[in-house]
Every structure is written in C-alpha cells, then in structure tokens.
Homo-oligomer: A and B are copies of this chain.
Amino acid sequence: MSDPKRIEPRTLKGFRDYPPEAMIPRERLIDTARRVYRSYGFSPIDTPALEYLDILSGKGSDETDKQLYKFQDHGGRWVGLRFDLTVPLARFAAQHVGELGVPLKRYHIASVWRGENTQRGRYREFMQCDFDTIGTRSIAADIETVLVIHDLFRALGFEDFTIQLNNRMVLTGLLERLHLADRATAVLRALDKLGKIGPEAVAQEMIAQAGLSAEQAQDILQLSKISGDNDAVLRQLDSLVAGSETGQSGVAKLKKVLDGTAAAGMSPDRIKLDVSIARGLDYYTGTIVETFLNKLPGIGSVCSGGRYDNLAGLFTSQELPGIGASLGLDRLLAAMEELGMIEKVSTPAPVFIPFFDPNRLADYLRLASSLRASGVGVEVFPDSKKLGQQLKYADRRGFRIALIAGGDEFDRGVCQVKNLQTGEKRDVPLASDAAEIVAEVKRILGS
C-alpha cells in the first residue's frame, strides 16, 4: 500500500536522467571537446540559463517563440530559458567585446531548453557544445574551424569521417551572374528539396515560385551536377562563377581552406567540397562546414557551422563577423554507441577492493590510498558482505581489477590481484607502500 503523502518519483515528459552509464561517456566526450577547443586557444565562457525574454525572442522565428520556456519571475519580469547558445553569445559579445577585445575565441558547453514536440524523439533539454571565433574576417579562422573539427573527431577515436565544405559566396556569385541575386530565398527553398524531389521538380519549382527561366533553372542546377575530387570541383566552379567577383572570391576561399588544412597536416581525403547542398546557405554568408560519419551517413551532420557577417546586430552597432560550429552531442553519442565505440561501465574507477575481512578496514583504506597516490582510481566496498556478493557488484559496475585480501592473504603478506575481464589472478606481496601491487595494477590496465 502506498503512502498517500508519498510523491511518485518521475521526470517531465521530454526530460531525462543521466545515470552513470550514460553520463560517463558524455563527460568523456565533453572533456575531449574542451581539450581540443582549448588547444586552439578557445576559452570557456558561461552565460545565465535565464535571460530577459526580449533578448531571447529578439529575432527568433515563430517556431522558436512557440518552443520558448517563458514566464514572469518574482519581480514580474518576463524571462525565458535559453533555447540555444548563439543568442546568448551575441548578447555576451555585444556587452563585453569592448573590454575583452577581438578576436574573441570562445567555447560554450551548456544545456538549452525547447518545448519541442517529443513525438519526433526530441528532448526538451539538451546540451550544446559550440565554438566560435568572433571579430575577424580572416580565412585563417575558417581554416582553423575545419582543423578543430578534424582534431576533435580524431581525438574521439574516429578514423572514417568527412568534413564537407561549401561557401555561400559560390551560390551568391552564380545568382549574380544570372542577375537573380534578389531571388536567393526562393531559389534556396527549391534547392533544399533536391534530395527529396529530384532535379526536374526543383527546376519546375524554381520556374514557378522564383520566376526563373528554364535556362536559368538549369544553370542553377549545374551546381548539383558538379562532381569529382576537390581539384575537379574547383575547376568546374571556376567556370560556373566566371565573371562574378563574389563567386570567384568564394571559390578562392574554398581553395584557401583546402590548402591551409593540408598545410597543417590534415589528410586531404577527410575534406570534401560539396556545393550541391543548400543546408546552411540561408543563414551563413561564407564558409559552411558539415561533418559526416562515413559508416553512418544517414544520421546527418554531427558537427556543423559556418561564417556569418554580423553576429550581434540586434544588440550593438559594432559589426562582429565570425565563424563557428556546433557539435551534435546527443547525435554523436548515439552514433558512437551504434559503432561500438562506447564501453558500458558505470564506474569511473578501474580498481575494486572488497571489504572481505571485517577487521581489516584500515588495511583496505591504506591500500586504496597508495593506489590513488599513484593516479589509479579505487573503490572500497563499504560493507563487509559475502565476497561473492561484492564481486557481483564489481562485475555489474564494470571494474577492471579486484584486489582481494582476507585473513589468509594478510597472514601470508600478499594480496590477490584479480583481472576481472580475464579472470586471471596472482598473489602479489603486500608491502606498506604497495609498490608491487601498484605496478601489477598498472601492468593490467596498460595492456
């Protein structure tokens, strides 16, 4: 019979708990992202989860507005929970760039909230993991953005991934050459459907909706027919944008990113020019990057970004160009799980010491301290239950090694070092500094 005063423990729809098994790989992924971002001089910042509502809904779309968690606070102010890290970055940059100076290279890893329709498998709270370089138009920042993504995926253990590179100026140049600069939005909307409805239907739509001639539509569709390796693509692009300064500049920038990333030692088969996709073309103004896992192309881009001309026009008259990208944390974790890249453990410590002999707690604590002092994590079981029960716990948690010592072992001055993955065990002398045990543990962990 349940107590009527008891409250049912539950989470809100669209929200979830992260138990250790889910949280350990998340922390590892976040750590890796931070380490790579930092190695390029990106600095961490944080901003409040709650902001004034007018800041958040400033230039938001209707959809964003509908998804915003908003309410009146204790002082009657309308406030909202941030729905991304870009609006807070724009507000932050406008407010602090004067004192911080440019380039402002920041990363920001934090939760955001959107009251989305959960039927699409979306969560209402998720983490974003962004890095941006603000206050420079230099192509060096574009090159670096690609290098960061490359280093990040390598650091995560991926070998087989492709960074797709595009530049909005190519399309702009093509439209300029065709005197269609004013139809960009309608053309983009049609191009975006290429994968779904095919080139013929896209051409029809461009004619019907954007008022293009059949010839102009075919010219635009040339973009989707460009193929071959990066050099071949560059050659085709050269002729496609011939006569448009903007287009030529876009192609030159693509080339500089390819050259720069190669100079930095990045394997050229990890970067692929792709000007056929329209994703990102509506809000980025220059370089556009997307990252695909070759073994799981279906999940879409796991790290996307691009260059913008003016980050914070809503908040300041100071023009702030920049470039950045965002790592799709949850999508990437799901992919890594599917690819068998995530070990299922729910302990961050590799070594387990059962509380075997109830009179020897001090010895277990001393042994654990020696291992920790040498950098090895250890859990001592707190209760002197039956050994089998304790080892079952260790197994369920995923410990790698158990250090077992009962009355018999203490009498003989040894400790049994058991490899929990192979079952192998070995008695090792139990000196006061535990040096031999530390060495044996490190040997097993290293192998």
Contact = CB atoms under 8 A, between A and B. Distances in A.
A100 B19 contact: yes
Given A362-B260, A382-B138, A48 B12 contact: yes
Nearest to A109: B27
Given A11-B51, A46-B17, A75-B13, A347 B41 contact: yes
Contacts of A369: 147, 264-265
A94 to B, nearest CB: 4
B71 A71 contact: yes
A253 interface: no
B348 A41 contact: yes
A44 interface: yes
A251 to B, nearest CB: 18
Contacts of A77: 12
Query: A50, A94, A366 — which one has the most chain B CB atoms within 10 A of its CB?
Result: A50
Contacts of A43: 20, 23-24, 346-348
Interface in A1-45: 2-3, 5-13, 15-20, 23-24, 26-27, 34, 38-45
Contact of A125 (B45, B48, B100): B48
A125 B393 contact: no
Interface in A71-102: 71-75, 77, 79, 81, 91-92, 94-96, 100-101
B9 A382 contact: no
Those 8 A-B pairs whose CB atoms lie nearest each other, nearest first: A41-B379, A71-B71, A20-B43, A263-B362, A15-B48, A38-B348, A138-B382, A41-B349
Interface string A255-273: 0000110011100000000
B264 A315 contact: no
A44 B326 CA distance: 24
A423 to B, nearest CB: 22
Interface in A367-417: 368-369, 372-373, 376-383, 393, 396
A292 interface: no
A194 interface: no
A344 B211 CA distance: 59
Contacts of A111: 49
21 contacts: A6-B316, A6-B317, A7-B315, A11-B47, A11-B48, A12-B51, A12-B79, A20-B106, A40-B372, A40-B377, A41-B379, A49-B49, A49-B113, A71-B72, A74-B115, A140-B361, A141-B382, A143-B361, A147-B365, A151-B372, A264-B365
Interface residues of A, number: 109
Contacts of A362: 259-260, 263-264
A121 B5 CA distance: 37
Interface in A46-71: 46-52, 54-55, 58, 69-71
Contact of A315 (B8, B133, B138, B372): B8
A1 to B, nearest CB: 9
A15 B55 contact: no
A168 interface: no
Given A19-B45, A49-B111, 6 more contacts: A7-B54, A7-B55, A12-B77, A138-B383, A263-B361, A265-B369
Contacts of A2: 317
Contacts of A113: 49-50
Contacts of A366: 263-265
A105 interface: yes
A355 interface: yes
A136 interface: yes
